[in-house]
Amino acid sequence: MSAIAQAARSLAAGELVALPTETVYGLGADATNPEAVAKIFALKGRPADHPLIVHLAPEARLEDWAVEIPEGARKLAAAFWPGPLTLILKKSARVPAIVTGGQDSVGLRCPSHPVAQALLRAFAMVGSGAVAAPSANRFGHVSPTTAQHVRDEFGEDLRVIDGGACAVGLESTIVDLSRGAAVLLRPGAITRSQLESALGARLRERDACAPRASGTLAAHYAPATPVRLVASGDLLQAVASAGGAAVLAMRDAAAGAVAWIAAPRDSARYGHDLYANLRALDGAGAREILVEAPPVAPEWEAVNDRLSRAAAGAASLDDEP
């Protein structure tokens, strides 16, 4: 039996499986099985009110999992599915409350990774075909972008499907359409301008009534080593005064750092490498990780979002995907 078929049977039996997607690796369970989904929360140490994203194969019917599907949702799905986009919609009765954190809305996504799609299709033959999956890491920690990252996090007992390094490396863009107008809840590889072009309308800003969604708390994506963002012009002085920092910067190494990673200047490549770089620097034995603040520009929105949460998480991980 192939690894995909075995994993599909494990899901149908109520077990957890770590699977690759184009964004990050997910920790998956049968989305229709509350007992199986509860295992995700227990293994991650995830608060029960923090919702999960449900992953579907390209041929799955949106109407089976959501109700009141607005035209904007259909436009975005047509433009970006399969791909790194999660749509928040009113949930159908088929989605258990544990998946949504008790909310009446659910996050739905159709991943483009061929291994994820193969697993979802195999699972549809022996089970529900829907996999609830947050990132495959302890709650609030750095997301995994390789199978080895998952094994480092949870050990060898968890079934992990190795699909190689994730192509995107940052979690999916999340758009709320459960209240009518489209609202960007989490930036990602699909940018604000791309979304607005597909919708033919401007996105509304997030408000206090927005539904809870994965990875949107102030503190998240954090290494164990404290992270500090530093303005470009202040970086060398910060390194000199830190006395043993690890550094992520868009320049060549300078003296005084325990470890130094020169990051790409392209936003997509920077995002692709970000979590692997943070994990590498976290293991350098430094007192803190200094990150040269990237440019403030639309194409850097997702990267800046993750870095700001990582820095906040280093200071207060309990506040927090």
Per-residue model confidence as pLDDT tens digits over 98-152: 999 999 999 999 999 999 999 999 999 999 999 999 999 998 889 999 999 999 9
The pTM for the full model equals 0.93
pLDDT at 220: 64
Domain end among 199, 214, 235: 199
Handedness of CA 276, 280, 286, 287 (dihedral sign): positive
Domain boundary among the residues 182, 199, 216 is at 199
> Over 80: is that where the pLDDT of 319 sits?
no
Confidence of residue 243 (pLDDT cuts 50, 70, 90): confident
Query: Do 170 and 252 have their domain in common?
Result: no
Q: Which helix (H) or strand (E) segment is 246 a member of? A: strand 245-249
Residue 218 lies in a domain: no
Give every CB contact of residue 204 below 8 A, 6+ residues apart in sequence: 181, 182, 183
Given a cut of 70, is residue 315 above it in pLDDT? no
Average pLDDT over residues 230-240: 96
Q: How many domains does the chain have?
A: 2
Measured in whole angstroms, the distance separating CA 159 from the mean position of its chain's CA atoms is: 20
Domain assignment of residue 275, given as a range: 227-319
* Domain co-membership, 147 together with 195: yes
The predicted-structure confidence for 51-62, as pLDDT tens digits, reads as follows 999 999 999 999
In a domain, 134, yes or no: yes
Mean of pLDDT over the chain: 93
Say if residue 231 is exposed, middle or buried (CB neighbours under 10 Å; 0-12, 13-18, 19+): exposed
Q: Give kind and range of the element (H or E) at residue 17.
A: strand 17-19
CB-based contact 58:46 (threshold 8 Å): no
What CATH number did the domain enclosing 69 receive? 3.90.870.10
Average pLDDT over residues 89-103: 97
246 and 303 housed in the same domain: yes
45: which DSSP letter? T
